[in-house]
């Protein structure tokens, strides 16, 4: 049976991993290539590289490290950040990305998802949605979660899937950084609305949070996190062991 995926996310600025990383035995802790190799060797099922660079120079450094990573790491690689056009899709796919995630770019240009799905196939297009409750209603936020678009999130996600998004990353702004567990209520609402794979993001603090996520809703396909992996608070081999013991299907 298909396994639940565990996905570390690396924020990259000017070709370096931004958030501090705390690992034994890893010499260059801010090298995305070294970190990607490390995660791949400990059983990560997929990697997300998120480019938070603003300058053109930083962008070319990003594609350079992407190329280096793709030549050494042989698991699926998703790239996000600064994807606003088909040219951006092209740029990162040529450097070895397997999937491209769009967020604000899809909000600014509602045709982007459909155009990209037509050209590269749905399997290539990941919708990443930053979602927050506003007066009890799920709203989509843009610009890294800073701007309320006023759009109702579930309707937005469903529309993007109809336009060809092949997977959805649901990042709950409400639980992000709190480390109190994933936003199960929000994930239930998204899983009920779409039939493509759903990747949960925001809120994981412990191994138990992942187990609670997958046991709560069997339609959630993957769990994504950043700092808890980078700081070694949750080690992927331990996480997979615990998931297997909880009778969840994992790749080991």
Partner 1 sequence: MIAIVDYGVGNLFSLKCSLDAIGAEAVVTGDAAVLRNAGKIILPGVGAFGDAARKLQSTGLDTVIKEEAAAGKPILGICLGMQLLFEKSYEFGEHQGLGLIPGSVVPMAGFIPAELKIPHIGWNALRFQKSSPLFRYIQEGDFVYFVHSYFAAQCNEFVIADTEYGQYLTAAVQNKNVFGCQFHPEKSGTVGLNILKAFAQLEDAPC
Min dist CB 22 to partner 1, Å, is 25
Q: What residues contact residue 25 under an 8 Å CB cut-off, 6+ apart? A: none
Min dist CB 70 to partner 1, Å, is 6
Closer CB to partner 1, residue 30 or residue 122? 122
Q: Using CB under 8 A as the criterion, which residues of the chain lie in contact with partner 1 when the complex forms?
A: 1-3, 5, 40, 45, 70-72, 74-76, 93-96, 98, 121-123, 166-167, 195-197, 219, 221-222, 251-252
- Which of 11, 88, 176, 221 does the annotation list as catalytic? 11
- Residue pointed to by tokens 């042989």: 74
Closer CB to partner 1, residue 159 or residue 251? 251
Closer CB to partner 1, residue 159 or residue 219? 219
- Structure tokens of 67? 């190329």
Q: What is the phi/psi pair of residue 85, to 5°?
A: -150, 170
* 130 catalytic residue (yes or no): yes
Min dist CB 71 to partner 1, Å, is 4
- Neighbour tally for 74: CB within 10 Å: 8
- Which of 45, 51, 88, 130 does the annotation list as catalytic? 130
* DSSP per position, 215-242: HH-TTEEEEEESHHHHTTSS-HHHHHHH
What 3-state class would DSSP assign to 80? Answer: strand
* 11 catalytic residue (yes or no): yes
- Structure tokens of 77? 């690689």
- Give me the active site residues, please: 11, 130
């Amino acid at each position: 049976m298909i396994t639940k995926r565990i996905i570390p996310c690396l924020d990259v600025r000017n070709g370096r991993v931004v958030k501090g990383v705390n690992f034994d035995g890893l010499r260059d802790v801010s090298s995305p290539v070294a970190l990607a190799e490390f995660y791949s060797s400990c059983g990560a099922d997929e990697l997300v590289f998120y480019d938070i660079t603003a300058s053109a120079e930083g962008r070319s450094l990003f594609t350079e490290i992407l190329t280096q990573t793709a030549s050494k790491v042989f698991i699926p690689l998703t790239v996000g950040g600064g994807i606003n056009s088909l040219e951006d899709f092209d740029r990162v796919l040529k450097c070895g990305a397997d999937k491209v995630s769009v967020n604000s770019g899809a909000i600014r240009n509602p045709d982007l998802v459909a155009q990209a799905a037509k050209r590269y196939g749905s399997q290539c297009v990941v919708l990443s949605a930053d979602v927050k409750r506003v007066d009890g209603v799920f709203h989509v936020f843009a610009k890294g979660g800073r701007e309320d678009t006023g759009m109702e999130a579930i309707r937005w996600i469903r529309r993007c899937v109809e336009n060809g998004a092949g997977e959805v990353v649901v990042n709950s702004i409400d639980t992000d950084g709190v480390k109190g567990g994933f936003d199960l209520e929000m994930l239930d609402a998204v899983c009920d609305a779409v039939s493509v794979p759903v990747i949960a993001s925001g809120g994981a603090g412990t191994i138990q949070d992942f187990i609670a996520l997958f046991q709560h809703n069997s339609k959630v396909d993957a769990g994504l996190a950043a700092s808890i992996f980078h700081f070694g608070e949750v080690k992927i081999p331990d996480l997979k062991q615990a998931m297997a013991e909880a009778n969840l299907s994992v790749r080991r």
